[in-house]
Amino acid sequence: MHAIRNGRWGRWLWAAAGIGALAGTALLARWLIRNDAAVYIALANKWLADTVIERLGYWGVFVLMAIESSVIPVPSELVMPPAGDLARRLPNWTLGGVILMGTLGSLAGSLVNYALARYVGRMIVVRLVAAYGRYVHLSLDGYLASERFFYRHGSFSVFIGRLLPGVRHLISVPAGLSRMPLARFCLLTTAGAGAWCAFLAGLGYWFGSDPQLLAAMMNRYSHWLVAAAVAGVAAYVAYVYWMRPRAPLPGPAPAQQD
């Protein structure tokens, strides 16, 4: 498998997969824009806000984002945008409060992963992921990819990792295994999680304000939006090809010193 991936046929397969992904993204983005997907997204976001997030309150945002930062798959995209929509419509919700509780929840969940990894060790972590990861949609390859990302980019990967799907909820584990200083870990996690929560909450706030106007604007600027979607997928394909296959598996990491 390794030879196929890095040989001539592997390169052609990667190229074909990349072109197919870009073409599919362009077609999907164009179809969504032309069919006023913004209106349906806004309606779904409002439904989640009214039926789930409002009932749970600010502490519900905290708890759900804490769970999202652990290995349990609770997508932040289903928590923060509805909360942002509530901040726009309800007087007892504020955008700043939503972002704050989401960020603190993300930090709390990350600290749990960090502490467990720091005190149980890599061997037990890998065994747990291999044995039970499938129950929370976590593969051993996915976890090892987060390790490679951390050891390639160092402490700053804790900040960047909070912005990347598939890495966001796992990056605190290799940080704990390497005994990264707690103050540095909290600072970088808070910065990355805060940026992500602000983006999602702001998106929910903006999407719900006037869906019909937003759909018209998306149709007007559809070529730019399609180009942005294609560029995003191209960046992800490049990341998968250049970073994951070529990064070596990490060995036991030395402890970082304060």
* Per-residue pLDDT at 79: 92
Higher pLDDT, 89 or 143: 89
Closest to 223 (Cα-Cα) out of 49, 2, 26:
26
* Per-residue pLDDT at 1: 44
Domains of the chain, by residue range, sit at 37-210
Residue 139 sits at the vertex; the CA angle it makes with 249 and 165, to the nearest 5 degrees, is: 85
- Mean pLDDT rounded to a whole number for the chain: 77
On the 0-12 / 13-18 / 19+ scale of CB atoms within 10 A, 126 is middle
pLDDT digits (tens, 9 = 90+) for 202-233: 888 887 666 666 666 666 666 666 677 667 76
Closest to 25 (Cα-Cα) out of 237, 253, 244:
237
Q: 74-97: b or e for each residue (b if 16 or more CB lie within 10 Å)?
A: bebebbbbbbbbbbbeeeebebee
Give a three-class secondary structure readout of 90-116: CCCCCHHHHHHHHHHHHHHHHHHHHHH
Measured in whole angstroms, the distance separating CA 3 from the mean position of its chain's CA atoms is: 31
* Cα separation, 156 vs 189, whole angstroms: 10
* Cα separation, 158 vs 167, whole angstroms: 9
* pTM for the predicted model, two decimal places: 0.71
Q: What is the CA radius of gyration of the chain?
A: 20
* Per-residue pLDDT at 59: 95
* Per-residue pLDDT at 149: 74
Region 49-56 average pLDDT? 91
* Whether 245 contacts 4, CB under 8 Å: no
* Cα separation, 22 vs 231, whole angstroms: 8
